[in-house]
Amino acid sequence: MDHDRAHDPLVRDVIRMTFELTGRLRAHMDGVAASLDLTPMQARALFVSHQPVPMGLLAESLHCDASNVTGIVDRLEERGLMERVVDPDDRRRKNLVLTAAGRRGSEQLKDRLRADNPILSLDGPELEVLHGLLLQVLSADVPPEMPRRTHPSPQI
């Protein structure tokens, strides 16, 4: 018999706190992005593009529709940080490759992200514990699909 965890005060508290921390981490990331004159989405795209990645996969990583990635990559390409390279094995597919400037930018982004990160208020052993918990959540969880508002059930 499984106790109903939805009414567990601990669950409520942890969800409220993850909401708060998620907001702060995002603000921290956006601040770092701004310091490099990147928009939040441009920075996230740079962050996850270590090796060549097709547009569709980037859309998944960014949790947004594929049609949005066109514009985001357009602006990164105009700025000389990324290039679209047609995949020779499947000419429909375009792989995104960082330029030298893109790699430098990505490194700076990550350096600055590490420099002042809120989670660094934890010491080594605590980070180890957090690492274990994150590993468990990430491997157990199936990444959610992109949010859709097609058939909402409002009731409010």
Which of positions 52-81 make contact with a second copy (CB under 8 A)? 61-63, 81
Q: Which residue has the tokens 């740079």?
A: 46
Q: Residue 134 to residues 20, 26, 126, 140: CA-CA distances in angstroms?
A: 17, 17, 12, 10
The option from a second copy, DNA, none interacting with 113 (CB < 5 to 8 A, set by class) reads: a second copy
Q: Which of 32, 42, 49, 105 binds DNA (CB under 7 A)?
A: 42
Does 105 sit near DNA (CB under 7 A)? Answer: no
Instruction: Say how far apart CA 85 and CA 108 lie, in whole Å.
Output: 24
Are 46 and 81 in contact by the 8 Å Cβ rule? The answer is yes
Instruction: Say how far apart CA 86 and CA 125 lie, in whole Å.
Output: 45
Within its chain, how far is the Cα of 98 from the centroid? 17
The option from DNA, a second copy, none interacting with 12 (CB < 5 to 8 A, set by class) reads: a second copy
Helix, strand, coil abundance in the chain, percent, nearest 5: 60, 10, 30
Does 115 sit near a second copy (CB under 8 A)? Answer: yes
Q: Which of 65, 107, 111, 128 binds DNA (CB under 7 A)?
A: 65
DSSP state of 95: E
Q: Which of 1, 2, 12, 97 binds a second copy (CB under 8 A)?
A: 12
Does 5 sit near DNA (CB under 7 A)? Answer: no
Q: Which of 36, 55, 66, 97 binds a second copy (CB under 8 A)?
A: 36
Q: Which of 74, 85, 86, 104 binds a second copy (CB under 8 A)?
A: 104
- Binding interface with DNA (CB under 7 A): 39-42, 54-57, 62-75, 84, 90-95, 146-150
